[in-house]
Structures are given as C-alpha cells and as structure tokens.
Amino acid sequence: MEAVTNTIQTFDIASLRSEFPVLNVQVNNKPLVYLDNAATAQKPKAVIESLEEYYRNYNANIHRGIHSLAEKATAAYEATRTQVQHFLNAGSREEIIFTRGTTESVNLVAAAWGKQFLNEGDEVIISTMEHHSNIVPWQIICEEKKAILKVIPISDEGELDMDAYHQLLSPKTKMVAVTHISNSLGTINPVKEITAAAHKAGAVVLIDGAQSTPHMTINVQDLDCDFFAFSAHKVYGPTGAGVLYGKKALLEAMPPYQGGGEMIGGVTFEKTTYNELPYKFEAGTPNIADVIAFGATLSFLKSVDLKLIREHEKALLQYATEQIQSVGDIRLIGTAKQKAGVVSFLIEGAHPQDVGVLLDQQGIAVRTGHHCTQPLMDRFGIPGTVRASFAMYNTFEEVDRLVAGLQKAKKMLI
C-alpha cells in the first residue's frame, strides 16, 4: 500500500484509478466511463476489503458485548466517529451522529429540532435548488407545526438571489436549510455568508453537504453552521451510512428522533431516560460494517493529495463544459461562476432520457431526469437534464468519449 500511496500523492491518475476495481469493467462491450458520481461515487479497494474483513473476522454487535469480537467491532466503529470529527473539524466527537445518509440526517433535524423549537407562525427558509430530501421534511414539520416555508429564488444562471434571501430573513425565521453544492447545477452556494446572516436574525442553519464533501475541505467550525449533513457513499464510502454534525448544545436540547435500544439510559414502564450524546440519536443496531468501512474511506482520502485532486477536478469541469458546448445545440442548465463537479445540459430537440440511453450503449454512465429537484426543473421550464458529474478518478480522455457519444446521439435524435 505504501508504494501505491506514494504514487497517488504525485497524482499518477493511472495508479489512482487502479484503486477502484469497477473502473475496469466493460459495459455493452465498451470500457466503462463512469460520470454519475453525484448519485454515488465508486469505492476504492480499501473500502471493499474493510467490509469483507469485518464480516469474515469480527462480525459482532457493538456497545453491548464484553467478548473480544464485540470489543473489536466497537473500537473500529467508534474510531470512524473520531475520523469524521477530524474530517469535518468538529469540536467534539459527541457532535457526530451516524445515520443512513443525508436524507435521514435532514429528517432527524426537521423532526427532532422542529418538535422542540418550531411553533405556529415561525418560518423556515430553503432554496429553489434543494434536493427533495431538503424540501419534504421541512414541508412535513411546517404543516404539523403550522409554520411557514419560504424559498430563496435563483437566477437564470442558477445562483441564489442573495438580496432576496436577506429580505426573507426576519425575527420569525427559525431555520435556514440550504445545499452547499447543488446536485443538479453544481452551483457552490455562499454558505458562510448565509449562515452569518441567519445567525444575525436569530435562526439556526443546516447545510446539506452531500455534494460538497467529495469536492471541498469542510470546516464546520469555520462555517459556524449549526448542522451539517452528508452521506458516505457520495465521498467514496459505502451506501447506507451517513453523518449528522450538530452543535452539542443544540443536540442536547433536542428530543430523541427514534426510540429503542442504545439510545436509552434506563427504561421502566413508568419512565425512560435517554443516553448521552451521540447515542441518544442512534437507536437500535447501527450499520456497523459500513460505518467501519467508511473509516477505511477516510484513511484512503488522507493517503491522496487532495489539493492536486481539487485542481484536477476543476480543470476537468472547465474542459468538460467547453467540450460539451462544442457539440452544438446544447443548452447548459446552471452556469454559475462558482461551480463544482457537475455539467447539466440538454441537447435541443432531444429528450434527456433518450440521450442517456444512447450514451449507455457506448459504455458511458450519466444521470438523466430531474435529479430529485423537481421544483428546480420547473423553475427552468424543463422536464430534466442530462447530468455528467465528476470524481477524482475521471480523466480528460473520458470527457472526450462523452463528447463523441453526444455527437453520435445528436445525429440520431435531431
């Protein structure tokens, strides 16, 4: 592994790609070009091996056992919590709650924080570009509490209207929940400015970091956000594991999200007391294997030169944007000045699903549709887009194959 690590740190793309086995597969007798990373990123060998090692050698339930396997599993699971704390630069490990993913993290906050702090007439602010997972939970709790949901508009370029945001803020604003990077547009939102303004108005802030964690270094203390949610599988880890960061004082003031084992201090038929943080929000047997494997993911990420990778991804995005436009009859959706990871577009006169099918026949994996952002698509008056999304292992040659595929699809469809 040491030799591999050294070559990765000089950003040898071939060595980096060799760490991801699925990149060697054939799709429709063509080498795979995987450009659906915003949906889920591929997994390095270290993650796959970690999963196998757990199930082969020390599969056991955690926190409850005194036997050796349980103790080993517990230590590995809790080690990941500490790694996540450092990954986010959280103030303490008690502020790291494990969930199934960003969706559950947002639902946890909407349900538990909303139950405790949201009242009739209060206001929650989200944005036009939110994923459904950062819309629906707020709709549910606002309806229950008779609160009001307000929406930040966006420009034709796909940037938040910050003047409108500042006008929406009022003493009635209790929560601002926004995405850090749009999964459909790639827009990087000014979340530090958003957070500071919300705090000045007396509101708390949740940042959906599902798309930012793969492309940016996150420092929750610098952002000063109250909650930050992300999914392991977007950042080269396994599916079914996610994180909610929350400021300790807020988490302590919130009621439990679910009831069951582990989240209790003591149970009688008359009264139950709750466990301390972070376990108060982790009811039942957790996703042990995938959390442990996420620790392997974070170790892998420490073995690579993230600065070089960020530069590579930025150059790749610029190149892809220019080359896709060169196909002609292309409408880009999302042209913000600050972007990461995503080129979303339409071939004029062609349905995005048809384009996606033709690309798949050439071994090129992209995402088509509304990307769980239907209100955003309504804002642009379109049914959906073709979305190419990039990761550290993608290459300029793969972009060239995408462009060739689009040229072929264009000839067939219009």
pLDDT tens per residue across all 414 residues of the chain: 333 333 344 468 999 999 999 999 999 999 999 999 999 999 999 999 999 999 999 999 999 778 999 999 999 999 999 999 999 999 999 999 999 999 999 999 999 999 999 999 999 999 999 999 999 999 999 999 999 999 999 999 999 999 999 999 999 999 999 999 999 999 999 999 999 999 999 999 999 999 999 999 999 999 999 999 999 999 999 999 999 999 999 999 999 998 887 887 887 888 888 888 999 999 899 999 999 999 999 999 999 999 999 999 999 999 999 999 999 999 999 999 999 999 999 999 999 999 999 999 999 999 999 999 999 999 999 999 999 999 999 999 999 999 999 999 999 998
Residue 225 known to be catalytic: no
Burial (CB count <10 Å: 0-12, 13-18, 19+), residue 149: middle
Rounded to whole angstroms, the Cα distance separating 141 from 210 reads: 22
Range(s) for CATH 3.40.640.10 in the chain?
Answer: 50-302
Question: What are the CA-CA distances from residue 66 to residues 75, 198, 223, 291, 394 (Å)?
Answer: 12, 46, 40, 20, 45
**Segment holding 102, helix H or strand E:** helix 102-108
Catalytic choice (372, 377, 382, 404): 372
pTM, full prediction: 0.95
**CATH assignment of 50-302?**
3.40.640.10
Range(s) for CATH 3.90.1150.10 in the chain?
Answer: 2-43+305-413
Strands 242-246, 96-99: pairing kind = antiparallel
Superfamily of domain 2-43+305-413: Aspartate Aminotransferase, domain 1 (3.90.1150.10)
Rounded to whole angstroms, the Cα distance separating 194 from 211 reads: 17
Side-chain-facing half-sphere of 192: CA atoms under 13 Å:
6
